[in-house]
A and B are shown apart, each in its own frame.
Chain A
Amino acid sequence: MADTVKNAEPTRRDFLFIATGTAAAIGTACTVWPFISSLAPDANTIALGAPVEVDLAPIAEGQIVKVFWRDTLIFIRHRTKEEIEAAENVDVATLIDPQPDDQRVKKGHEQWLIVFGNCTHLGCVPNGHEGPYKGWHCPCHGSVFDTSGRVRVGPAPSNLPVPEYKFMSDTQIVIGVADEAPAPAA
């Protein structure tokens, strides 16, 4: 329009324009929010993700048992004396992901190794008691883990992580609960 003047004082119309736009933007964001939020793990899934108790009594020495917690595979390994020794007598500094064995097990329960069961490379499931260290060997891309679940040969970049768990008694653990003195997660 011919009589449009630049730098004029804001009018009532300018105010309404900005106020309407702002309200529309906030309204859109508020509308989108529940839809995005619905994609998050639902209440049922979270409830099923509560800590699980595992009875260790039936697990024989040398045996590896697979359990699931939060749809994720966990290995429970009842280590033999030789396996514990092999895990402890390692020059930690030479490891790909340096971590001493005593940080990966609970004091007084050295025979129990509890680690997540998916290779840290691309998530395959390594086979137990295989490979040069008799820990695990991943059939997908050849990663080798020792009897402490530490990576010894790549391509896996890090050790099998230790989940949060604690001993309720000598033969009972609960996975998903932090210990008073938590084992540092890898």
Chain B
Amino acid sequence: MSHDFFPSYTPKSKLAKWFESRLPLLGFMHSAGVSFPVPRNLNYWWTSGVILCFMLVSQIVTGIFLAMFYTPHVDLAFSSVEHILRDVSYGWLIQPLHAVGASMFFLAVYVHIFRGLYYGSYKAPREILWILGVILYLLMMATAFLGYVLPWGQMSLWGATVITNFFSAIPGVGKTVVSYLWGGYAVGNPTLNRFFSLHFLLPFMICGVVILHVWALHVPGNNNPDGVEIKTKKDALPFHPYYTTKDFFAVFVFLILFAWFTFYMPRYLGHADNFIAADRSVTPAHIVPEWYFLPFYAILRAVTFQIPLGFYTIDSKLGGVIAMFGAIVVLAFLPWLNNSKVRSTKYRPLYKPFFWLFFLTCIILGWLGSKPTDGDWMIGSWHIVNYTTASQIFTLLYFAHFALLPIIGKIEKTKPLPDSIFEAVLKKNGSAKPAGSAELPNKTA
């Protein structure tokens, strides 16, 4: 850590001294979780990281217990989930906690991502931190997809069929790759078995990357709403108790939402079709992924045309898959696409509307992803455009955002930045004291 503003750990007891000289674990935990200097101006959007950590633990705990009762076999999987819900003591609670938990996890990650986008948190020196975040997001998506196949309902089977067929679009080796994914001639029992194994593995890989992510956070420290770095002790507060308290409060508020869904509408975010056991001879009338994949599903389906390259023609299937993965991979390049000298959108008058346009684009793409491709976007009786054309327009807007970033950064006249975090807080509140606080933690204020 670059700053030593707050007292570090010194072992007092004989035992602690003995242990610390052999493994400095307590000192490490203290410097990372107690005396770690955090900008004093963080708002509630900065609690999403701890909420995500909480959700990861929650998913692993509920998942491990579900795995004790679940059977990964095509003839038994569906009924084993029903068995959990009906017969296992508190299974009615544990299964929805896991299923709703996936949605809550994604809700928190989207808050976390848009927070980073708005405040330019990915900019130097936090590029590696950001890229690790993109990797975590991809791992989360893979885990969620694999998990959704396990109950072996109609959406599980057909979702797995549509998604694994993406890989058949790979020129030349596509068919072989898909048969290695399936372990058969179609999505079947071997597929279900390996998906269960991988669904169990990936969360632990996520844990590993989370450790790197938090490590990469602790090198430069947190970004903050004003996007200026900590310069003096006056700009910072120790992580504990100031942010531990704030983060726990936010977790509790988040838990209200989580509990509300779990207890009052546990199936609201799912699909009724997944309560029909998988049947290869019938497809659901309308195959849609879970809500958190919808924007990408819209982008996938938006490519309905061939893309001739001269030496090779990309058909619409491959084109859609490239666009969909491209929409995620492009995020990793943000630190270099955004060339503005100013991090926070608070001080970027030209970029601000573009940020909100991008946010809106993602929401509308999500909505379009839930619609059938052959329908029409109507407002009352007023016909706007059909869904496929709309998806194409908003897919274009999605990518245009990234293409425009360097231009915006070049021509924008940004607002003056505060000299320090302390000054920014002073200007906002008239006092640098947190509301209701009696005394600042350091007398230098």
Residues of A whose CB lies within 8 Å of any CB of B are: 36, 39-42, 45, 49, 66, 68, 70-73, 117, 122-125, 139-142, 155, 157
Contact = CB atoms under 8 A, between A and B. Distances in A.
Contact of B183 (A39, A49, A73): A39
B322 interface: no
Interface residues of A: mostly helix, strand, loop or mixed? Answer: loop
Contacts of B348: none
B286 interface: yes
Interface stretch (B185-193, B225-233, B263-271): B185-193
B58 interface: no
Given A66-B281, A140-B285, A140-B286, A123 B183 contact: no
Nearest to B74: A71
A66 B281 CA distance: 8
Interface string B232-266: 00000000000000000000000000000000000
B45 to A, nearest CB: 38
Contact of B185 (A39, A72, A123, A155): A72
Interface in B161-219: 161-162, 165, 179-188, 190, 194
Given A141-B373, A157-B316, A124 B184 contact: no
B171 to A, nearest CB: 16
A40 B373 contact: no
A115 to B, nearest CB: 14
A139 B285 CA distance: 6
A41 B281 contact: no
B180 A123 contact: no
Contacts of B281: 66, 68, 73, 117, 125
Contacts of B442: none
13 contacts: A40-B183, A49-B185, A68-B280, A68-B281, A70-B184, A71-B184, A72-B185, A117-B281, A123-B165, A124-B283, A139-B283, A139-B285, A141-B373
Nearest to B165: A123
A49 to B, nearest CB: 6
In the complex, which range does the number of interface residues on chain B fall in?
A: 20 to 34
A49 B185 CA distance: 8
Nearest to B279: A125
B135 interface: no
B8 interface: no
Contact of A124 (B287, B315, B316, B374): B287
A72 B304 CA distance: 26
Contact of A36 (B179, B180, B187, B287): B180
A142 B374 contact: yes
Given A40-B180, A45-B183, A71 B304 contact: no
A140 B165 CA distance: 16
B164 to A, nearest CB: 10
A42 B372 CA distance: 37
B282 interface: yes
Given A39-B194, A68-B280, A71-B280, A45 B373 contact: no
Contact of A125 (B283, B373, B374): B283
Given A41-B185, A140-B286, 8 more contacts: A45-B183, A45-B190, A71-B185, A73-B280, A122-B162, A122-B165, A123-B165, A139-B283
Nearest to A139: B285
A42 B186 contact: no
Interface residues of B: mostly helix, strand, loop or mixed? Answer: loop
Nearest to B179: A41
B273 to A, nearest CB: 12
Given A42-B190, A139-B285, A140-B285, A70 B165 contact: no
Contacts of A122: 162, 165, 287
Contacts of B187: 71
B385 to A, nearest CB: 17
B179 A71 contact: no
A74 to B, nearest CB: 10
B283 A45 contact: no
- Interface centre among B182, B283, B286, B373, by most A CB within 10 Å? B283
Contacts of B162: 122-123
Interface string B284-324: 01110000000000000000100000000001100000000
- Interface centre among A39, A40, A140, by most B CB within 10 Å? A140
A39 B178 CA distance: 10
Contacts of A68: 280-281
Contacts of A36: 180
B179 A70 contact: no
A172 B316 CA distance: 39
Interface string B140-169: 000000000000000000100110010000
B285 to A, nearest CB: 5
A39 B180 contact: yes
Nearest to B189: A45
B400 to A, nearest CB: 25
A45 B287 CA distance: 28
A9 B432 CA distance: 70
Contacts of A140: 283, 285-287
B372 A41 contact: no
Nearest to A119: B283
Contacts of A41: 179, 182-185, 190
Nearest to A66: B281
Contact of A123 (B161, B286, B316): B161
Contacts of B186: 70-72
Contacts of B374: 141-142
Contacts of B183: 39-42, 45
